[in-house]
Structure 1
């Protein structure tokens, strides 16, 4: 720097090299000596990095040349103006490092400025390899290839789930068989390798969140200058990684939050001094992993949120009633900042105050299946916490049943599940509620949300899945809890896009398509449901009350075998109808002329065999629980396994006793 500086200006392009080197010298000295550098001194260094946010990669060669010429002219003009304003400033500044020692006790005027502090890593990182070594071990891969690979992994996960389901069914039917041990080893190995492969592919799509965080120091510095405040930005956890698709989406919400912290949160210097606070406000931006999620915290030590002011503003704009405001906790009041058009700012500025921004933040975070939470203390500061899944492709979900339909609820939004007696549910102002550990929890039945027809009684007890988004909680009443499963999120396509309350679909281990619940939309839909859960449960009438109401379809190409099966049903008292092949049986089922309660199926038949018939029936969601009972002379293990795969509920081999067939049918139709 000294050598270049002493050689003078570069006359070839007209840039004052001496002046630039002088400023770089100041920065270099600042590493060892405490040199106060005014913001104006940094402007020539930082400005080119942000100049108009031009993406030069998208410009033509001619446009690039014109842009370079424009920037050079602008720099020459800035040099000329600086020289005209302060012709004698160069010598004094060049020796700033030495003069600061002489004048360190002198009082200096306060200047609004932002500083950046990055938290030191917990452990030292190993020395970097040389450039040539790094280049040899690095390749560039198109993002679309990684996306395709992730889609294939998703299909592999679906196959793994299907295999696990089949194994469970086989294990139940052939308990104690020797082949199960070997099959278990194979299934476990495939499951382990699939999980490892899934993690490895996910890691290839991961990017450090520093890609987003790195733009905030400059932004905070500019805002502090514009607002006349002293603000320090402290960043930690920037090495935390998450999926590339999420990195691309998280930037804008963080910009809104940090701008609000600078404008609304951090007080001006005089106010902070009067409150006994440090004149420099602190904003902390932190990221860390929590299970299969990443948590981003934005903390400021500003004035905090005033819950009473938020309530009054919401009442003023007609968002809530005075009665609702009285029953609202401070935590619930903080959530009002996410309502559109709500702002407590006394003055609208270019930075914030229009009531637009935080509602967009909430919407964008929820699109990522994330949760946003706010906590604050008046006069002390505010913490905004974002919890986002590491990836949007594969998630853990809780599978639940609502009557004869099944849904997947993202596990990240499930707080707990409880089983309660129906008489513990009571009504307040037309809303179903449950007192759970001294907390009043609103209830809604999942079948009421999605209009699922109630066809059977749920008994005296029911299951409640407690879901939550930030400070909001809701109890979702379901009929069955199936269990936890890793699911692959699939789009519903353009035709079914925009269905409220549904985020997508997945294929379960048993091959059935299951809809994935959009928790945020579900909580909004629940506000419009006013159905008395207890009353509707009591009024469910079983449509079939006596054995003669039940219909059993007998399918066999042999008239003699059909007669034998029909005679076996006589002691039960059910009605029997018959078909001579699979195609005829399928047509009878689809015609809905009879409400069929069970199907006895032979395997070897013309036109359509029993395996194919079972598979076709299972394609219809309304028949996914219909008992399909195979009655066949095929006794091999491979035949049994194929029967399970096709969707058979039971597998009876000939010869059989009429009493045994009768007992199997009774069990399946619950008579």
Structure 2
């Protein structure tokens, strides 16, 4: 490989930036010309972009770029003069030329440029042939330097300023105009992060003055009261003596009054100064933060450059006619969010072309125009960024979606038939889910929408889909305006404050202890008609044991659908806007923690990673280690009731025994198998264990053996209730240490209750 002279590298880097900017202008222009091939403004802009590229390539010594840009410029000139009408074939070929422009700009060695020369020569022949074949114009002249070209170049060539390793570097202007006052600046990430950190600290410091000024007001009131008291004292002395005070007494009182008045005046002036300082410093801190935040923001259009071309190419590959409309191009978006939008929006746009827009014949039959429209929109609303991708296509075939759900064994036919439209549409986001039976170049692998949801969740956002039959489908992404500041719910756990991003908080509520129930070995409560599991933040964060202060629990509901949980915290401390302070990279990924922040009083707190919290809860559930939420609070209504643990892998048997015992006043918990039961008896106190024998993971005999061998549990009564009623089965259970053996096949309700009463007595002492 032959390298390029290092002295030319800086020029080539500038040409690369120029090539990218002008290629984007050409790409957008060509897509517009496909709809309006004679539009003079677009033709002029495209011609000027090609001309500028030609001049730039000549300056940096890239002849292959000169040749390519020259032939494209000639084509646009022919279209301007009416000698050529640009059709789809021309557009396809010119877009290929745009791709070559980008490749030329990225060529880093002479060998690569030599390879591109052959491709460019073939392109030039093909484009000239197409132009000549339609209008037979004169052959395109070989590009040569001329005084006019040199003059045009000096006037119109727009190159980016040199990239430097200083904090600020300048990007090339994206528009073809000769000047651009709104020049885009690229700021080093570490500098910007420090600026944001300092401005956040400035905001915190400025808030300190408010309580200080309030304390000064209290001093002012005290001083005023003292002055009034002295006046009353003078009046009292006068009345008591029934005679005028002497001159010295009057002078002393006058001096006290004078000093008090002076102190009051001085205090008022200082307080006014402090109030002015508070306003100025707060305003200044807000300005610093706003300016720093503005450095992070970029217009939404910066993320949409290649989408029109992509939609056009995918549509042509599928034999469809589709137009992309972009709204809200100037909407400001955090640069980090903007960088991550490319892949998810690409998925959604391809999905809209492939699945949403119908074939032209079907659209005509439905009374729609042949050309389908996809709209990409960005807007700010209610403190969030909303980005939507909508189409005017067929909508989602809900019947086909139900059949796909059943075919993939994601739900039974009966369950699928009962699903609402919104519940059905959620299946589209499952990994590997696709409604296509065959895999194509565009779709069918089921790796699109789940990837969209994953990326959106990484930035604490959400995505939802709505549709209307034969009217279209809309995907809406709700994202934070910036990743540097998040609105959070502040809670206290084990004496420490934590910030829970509100984007991931479903609801907060104060739950009475009587609302807690135990099912399948886990504590639950009713929320929006569903059973939601309950766990303490203490266990998630592995802090001290949770001890409720009263008969109510402060609960934060997080998660979605079946993966929803209520997290018990010590107390709610309100909502705050938190300036995110990234953790030191040397710490690596801290489990359950996303970042740090400062509260308004300067105290540090940790921002929770609620996705991590959900994973931690799932792990606790899967391992059978999920603890109970404060026995005293969870059983406030049955504090004196004796506790019974029912261990059985049959839901029917568990519920039958639970209801029977609960109806007689016993406090009943359940476990789904022997291992679940073993974890339960080690994490809570019980007066009796009732267990089956045949269960997965750990059978009843093994459970009894473990309990009786444990020094702390050996005195815990255990009853075996089993269908096995042979003498040898009974003896095996008793040998293991069971205190009672009852056969399911022969016992009735009273037999079970009598056996329980014999072992532990009545439900309440």
Structure 1 pair 462/79, CA: closer, same or farther in 2 (3 Å)? same
Partner residue, 1:588: none
Partner residue, 1:104: none
Candidates 88, 91, 100, aligned match of 1:51: 100
Structure 1 pair 27/424, CA: closer, same or farther in 2 (3 Å)? farther
The alignment's C-alpha RMSD in Å is 4.3
Partners in 2 of 1:512 and 1:219 — Cα distance? Answer: 49
Partner residue, 1:197: 288
Moved more, 414-423 or 288-297: 414-423
Partner residue, 2:467: 376
Secondary structure, counterpart of 1:54 in structure 2? helix
Q: Please give the residue correspondences for 1:578-657 in structure 2 after superposition, counting only pairs within 5 Å.
A: none
Deviation at 1:513, TM superposition (A): 3.6
Candidates 156, 159, 165, aligned match of 2:199: 156
Alignment partner of 1:537 is 2:638: no
Structure 1 pair 289/70, CA: closer, same or farther in 2 (3 Å)? farther
Partner residue, 1:70: 118
Partner residue, 2:335: 244
Partners in 1 of 2:291 and 2:69 — Cα distance? Answer: 51
Secondary structure, counterpart of 2:499 in structure 1? strand
Partners in 2 of 1:311 and 1:536 — Cα distance? Answer: 46
Candidates 375, 378, 401, aligned match of 1:287: 378
Partner residue, 1:503: 594
Contact (CA 8 Å) 1:285, 1:299: kept in 2 or not? Answer: yes
Candidates 38, 62, 69, aligned match of 2:87: 38
Deviation at 1:402, TM superposition (A): 2.4
Secondary structure, counterpart of 1:503 in structure 2? strand
Structure 1 pair 333/28, CA: closer, same or farther in 2 (3 Å)? farther
Partner residue, 1:186: 277
Deviation at 1:321, TM superposition (A): 7.0
Deviation at 1:417, TM superposition (A): 3.3
Partners in 1 of 2:466 and 2:76 — Cα distance? Answer: 43
Secondary structure, counterpart of 1:374 in structure 2? strand
Partners in 1 of 2:537 and 2:607 — Cα distance? Answer: 12
Contact (CA 8 Å) 1:374, 1:470: kept in 2 or not? Answer: no
Q: Please give the residue correspondences for 1:113-152 in structure 2 after superposition, counting only pairs within 5 Å.
A: 141-144=185-188, 147-152=190-195
Aligned residues: 486
Partners in 2 of 1:28 and 1:237 — Cα distance? Answer: 35
- 1:290-345: per-residue Cα shift (whole Å, max 9, x none)? 24322110011223334564455455545567787577543233222222211111
Partners in 2 of 1:456 and 1:285 — Cα distance? Answer: 51
Partners in 1 of 2:588 and 2:434 — Cα distance? Answer: 33
Q: Which has the larger radius of gyration?
A: 2
Contact (CA 8 Å) 1:166, 1:510: kept in 2 or not? Answer: no
Partners in 2 of 1:502 and 1:325 — Cα distance? Answer: 38
Structure 1 pair 42/258, CA: closer, same or farther in 2 (3 Å)? same
Q: Which has the higher contact order (CA 8 A, sep 6+)?
A: 1
Partners in 1 of 2:549 and 2:81 — Cα distance? Answer: 75
- 1:500-552: per-residue Cα shift (whole Å, max 9, x none)? 54322223345544221223443454455455547473479xxxxxxxxxxxx
Candidates 514, 519, 540, aligned match of 1:423: 514
Partner residue, 2:760: none
Partners in 2 of 1:304 and 1:139 — Cα distance? Answer: 42
- 1:60-79: per-residue Cα shift (whole Å, max 9, x none)? 4x367536633531223314
Structure number with higher helix proportion: 2
Partner residue, 1:655: none
- 1:596-643: per-residue Cα shift (whole Å, max 9, x none)? xxxxxxxxxxxxxxxxxxxxxxxxxxxxxxxxxxxxxxxxxxxxxxxx
Alignment partner of 1:272 is 2:360: no
Q: Please give the residue correspondences for 1:568-587 in structure 2 after superposition, counting only pairs within 5 Å.
A: none
Alignment partner of 1:353 is 2:444: yes
Partner residue, 1:487: 578
Candidates 548, 551, 570, aligned match of 1:460: 551
Q: Please give the residue correspondences for 1:418-457 in structure 2 after superposition, counting only pairs within 5 Å.
A: 418-426=509-517, 434-435=525-526, 443-457=534-548
Deviation at 1:270, TM superposition (A): 3.0
Partner residue, 1:613: none
Partner residue, 1:235: 326
Moved more, 301-310 or 277-286: 301-310
Partners in 2 of 1:154 and 1:324 — Cα distance? Answer: 51
Structure 1 pair 336/130, CA: closer, same or farther in 2 (3 Å)? closer
Structure 1 pair 18/456, CA: closer, same or farther in 2 (3 Å)? closer
Contact (CA 8 Å) 2:325, 2:374: kept in 1 or not? Answer: yes
Contact (CA 8 Å) 1:369, 1:388: kept in 2 or not? Answer: yes
Partner residue, 2:695: none
Contact (CA 8 Å) 2:548, 2:632: kept in 1 or not? Answer: no
Contact (CA 8 Å) 1:331, 1:471: kept in 2 or not? Answer: no
Deviation at 1:487, TM superposition (A): 1.9
Secondary structure, counterpart of 1:490 in structure 2? coil
Structure 1 pair 47/357, CA: closer, same or farther in 2 (3 Å)? same
Partners in 2 of 1:328 and 1:535 — Cα distance? Answer: 37
Partner residue, 1:125: none
Contact (CA 8 Å) 1:399, 1:484: kept in 2 or not? Answer: yes
Partners in 1 of 2:81 and 2:591 — Cα distance? Answer: 58
Partners in 2 of 1:142 and 1:359 — Cα distance? Answer: 32
Alignment partner of 1:222 is 2:313: yes
Candidates 477, 487, 500, aligned match of 2:568: 477
Structure 1 pair 315/433, CA: closer, same or farther in 2 (3 Å)? farther
Deviation at 1:266, TM superposition (A): 1.7
Deviation at 1:384, TM superposition (A): 0.8
Secondary structure, counterpart of 2:441 in structure 1? coil
Moved more, 204-213 or 443-452: 443-452
Contact (CA 8 Å) 1:315, 1:321: kept in 2 or not? Answer: yes
Secondary structure, counterpart of 1:252 in structure 2? helix
Contact (CA 8 Å) 1:281, 1:302: kept in 2 or not? Answer: yes
Partners in 1 of 2:213 and 2:551 — Cα distance? Answer: 33
Structure 1 pair 167/270, CA: closer, same or farther in 2 (3 Å)? same
